[in-house]
Structure 1
Amino acid sequence: MTDADVDALHDKYVKARQILGEPAEPDSYGKLLRTIHAQAPRIMEQYKAKAVDFSIVVKDNQVIVRAKPKP
């Protein structure tokens, strides 16, 4: 995942929180980056994937980072 991809994902995260009326957390960019770096290798190993796509979704009034393995 490139820096531009992470920036775009973070922008979507912040916008989703704003839609729900929640402020962006301090260091939300760093937390998102740590989540990606921690989860991607695990998901790739578990699903024998070559990469992982991350997206932002709103579920039950919560902003969630969703990971999808790419075969």
Structure 2
Amino acid sequence: MSDVALTTFEHVFEVDPRLMQRWVLQQTFPNWDTLRIMNARHDHLDWMHRHFADKVLSGSELLAEVDGEDGSPDS
């Protein structure tokens, strides 16, 4: 985890709002709204994939591809 990240709920990482207050007026953000957004993120990703993606790759597929690249011209 980064020094600039806060954990308000398990598996929810947020940028420390104090780092943004110089440029962006900070508002009180209720916990229920954070949980609502967190619980809807998979629905949003599914919608984005259906409308804009030709192919959806998992993170493990991407990591395997990166790990397979050894920099040699034969790869």
What band does the TM-score fall into relative to the shorter chain? 0.3 to 0.5
- Relative contact order, higher structure (CA 8 A, sep 6+): 1
Bigger Cα Rg: 2
TM-score w.r.t. structure 1 length? 0.41
- Return the structure number with greater helix share: 1
- Return the structure number with greater strand share: 1
TM-score w.r.t. structure 2 length? 0.40
